[in-house]
Structure 1
Amino acid sequence: MPNDSEILHALFRAALDAALPDGKFEGRLPAIPKGRTIVLGAGKASARMASAFEEAWTRHGGTCEGLVVTRYGHTTPTRFVEVVEAAHPVPDEAGLDAARRILTLAREAGPDDLVVCLISGGASALLSLPAEGISLADKQTINRALLKSGAPIGEMNLVRKSLSAIKGGRLAASVRGAQLVTYLISDVPGDNPSSIGSGPTIPEAVDPEVALSILRNYSIDVADSVVAAIRANALENSAAGGVVHMLATPKMALDAAAVKAREFGLQPLILGDAIEGEAREVARVMAGIAHSVVQHGDPIKAPCVLLSGGETTVTVRGKGRGGRNAEFLLALALKGEERVSAIACDTDGIDGSEDNAGAWFDAKLLDDARVRGINLASYLVNNDAYTAFAQLDCLVITGPTLTNVNDFRCILIRP
């Protein structure tokens, strides 16, 4: 039997493989149009999606052109669709320029053309085109404040839509008479298409007062001019924006990990693919479930794995380095449950703003930390889980995975 580390990493890899777009366009392609096929997209997986679409489209006799924007370092070679890189999670000028170009291409599409949109997590920051009356600096300031606030992703994306000239269905509105097909890789709890990348092609009537109330709730001050711009940017049309296909979701990744677990003789229990909340609080709940398994064999008997996805948040109070998955894992490890090991990673390969996807630990972690004089509790207080796991050689570093279906958590419990 492989050791705990080997099993945990194998299950994470199975989840990642299931989340890639390769081969998922077959059976979901529209008819080849009389005119052009214009491919537009944004997100951490958009370059890999463009490459996979090109392969499927050309196999069926189609030609294409277009532009997608992805995070720095997340590109992959394409033949016909241009790939540009921009900043994430705080937008920059490169994302602004890409968004302008994408909007122009959409507006150029005629009634004989097909517009294909490839959207994945990260598009909210990468496709940054502020509404009239809002500057890029305004968006950057608000985005940084939201990221530190502990606000759930749904609330952050609602605010982002209210600040944008391209998200919240505004890209779809610019297409006009052309056929529009959107392909999505979900990184949001619940897989709501309007929430993925803030829904550039999914029109949604958002009440600007709700966006403003979110900013007030998290004590994020904005200028009166920004308040006026948000109120003036309301999108009234909430009709669907063309055909939508979901290529990959968090549940698909968890299902693949469950299949892999059975190959190791482990019974999988999927606790949910849409779990949200403060990372430490989610860890406390997961630790309670693991304790019940160890002590009572309930809700499942060991050997087993507890699998979950979704997106936790961290309210940053310390000055350390870390991401939500490393913070979750450190809080879980500190519970000190026997016969328990775990891994927690962001499926895009970047946990927060560091170079790791996440971290892992086994039952020896607390003893190893004591021997080395590492006070793990103090690292948690300072939001410094990255440093703690780095000292213990327990970081998971994958580099960009070219997909993004949010967090992957696996707790392995031995008999």
Structure 2
Amino acid sequence: MNNKKAIRGWLMYDWANSAFVTTMIAAVMPVYYEKVAAKNLGGNLPEVYWANTSSIAALIVAVLSPIMGALADYTGSKLKFLGFFAVLGSIASLLMALIGEGDWLLASTLVILGTIGFAAGNTFYDALLVDVAPPDRRDRISAQGYAWGYLGGGVLLAINVMMIQKPALFGLPTEGNLRTQIVFLTVGVWWLLFTIPILRSVKERKRSEATASGTAISFTQALGASFHRLGQTLRQFKRYPELLKYMISYWFFNDGINTVIVMATIYGSGIGIEMNNLIVALLITQLIGFPSTLLFGRYAEKLGAKKALNVSLAIYIVIVTLGFFMENATHFYILATMVGLVQGGSQAIARSIYAELVPPARTAEFFGFLTISSKFSSVAGPFVFAIVAGNTDSSRIGILSLIAFFIIGIILLRFVNLDKGKREALVGEDGGAA
């Protein structure tokens, strides 16, 4: 399928759900959780409970993703699953408006549900890239998805920050929690509203197992078949050696990217940068990321996806090195700009490369594998940071240690033959049958 309406619908979902990450995960909810929902816990328990909330959500997503991916591929229902998880995340965001003082358990539960909706929905969203984009345009369209995500998340975050800091402009009270609770409502409405285009305009390929006979199958039958296919995938990974090599490389450099995202605010706060400056820097990253990711997609088409990815990872090495010397908010703004230049582009190209290396009929299943493996591998970056920073008593050396993840990723990427990997994916179509 290759039509503009389907592509626009696919792009709008990144615009829709990125608001959850920027407002709920990165900027507003963490502060609200500590200051309001977990206010009565005392000590550092709010931070501990927030970390546990994130860990539980990640674990559930890691377990669900390959199962849901296999089931969606078998039944030809990636869109249905995406719609379900989008509604789940949207409703969780809307219900966060009910969180008041001491409601840490409700807050944790809703954040877990929202994170599951976001991450599981993205498994099916990523897998639909093959259905909406022809091979020669996947790099550019994948980059456009990230770009629209940056813009959508950044636009709503800017509005949300104004609602909190300048409530009078929106007719909101200056005291109490109401303005922040309304912010949570806007995320739920935004996510739900802009999910409609992808559900209306994208059509996916149907799986032959579920449709060829013309006989309806039960959920139990589909689930059983999905587990069988999941076992087949585990056994047949040797059929896709280039994909396997790429996944190992991806685990390293993606862990480095995610750790930069996760540790940036804590690291900046630790060296004395004010929270307002940290939020402004996040907005800079979002807004710079929109045009930069679009340009990066074009750059990848001309230079080649692998070379473009290597360039972005090399820039990350520069960013981490400069982070070691960072002293003030101006430096943080500069680094936020540099991250905005390459973050979306590197993630988009990494996604489109992966899409080229998986069997076209099993994209959701293989993207589920990517989700679960990257969830578990993402533990390494923060762990290494903590070990190095703890043993050296220096967060600066801890941040510098992340260079290793990018260097190892670049080295391993050199051994991946993308052309060979694409041929392996086509030969392995439909369970590895030649």
Tell me the TM-score normalised to structure 2 length. Answer: 0.28
Tell me the TM-score normalised to structure 1 length. Answer: 0.29
More strand by share: 1
More helix by share: 2
